[in-house]
Amino acid sequence: MSVIERLKAVRHTLNVSQKVFAKSIFISTSYYACIESGHRNIKNVILDCVSKIYNVNKEWLLTPEFKQQVQRRPDKAF
């Protein structure tokens, strides 16, 4: 699974739109859509935000062999 596929998996597991997900990691919806479609590279700062905000291990995002389940943090509201 690629980094893009894992970002999508996080978003789908949380059951949020691209708009809500992008806003929560402080980027525009269009920028995030370009990331998911593969037209933009994913910057480290975006991965850091996803990791911190959604309690997702950054190594899981970056490493195909690393296994982790995505869980929604109860203290985060959308």
Q: How buried is residue 35: exposed, middle or buried, by Cβ count under 10 Å (0-12/13-18/19+)? A: buried
CA distance 60 to 53: 15
Question: What ranges do the domains of the chain cover?
Answer: 3-62
Residue 5 CA from chain centroid, whole number: 9
The answer to whether the predicted template modeling score (pTM) of the entire model surpasses 0.85 is no
Contact status, residue 4 vs residue 14, Cβ threshold 8 Å:
no
User: Amino acid identity of 10?
Assistant: V
Top-level class of domain 3-62:
mainly alpha
Spell out the residues 6+ positions from residue 33 whose beta carbon is closer than 8 angstroms to its own. Answer: 18, 22
Average pLDDT of the chain, as a whole number: 87
User: pLDDT tens for residues 1-55?
Assistant: 889 999 999 999 999 999 999 999 999 999 999 999 999 999 999 999 999 999 9
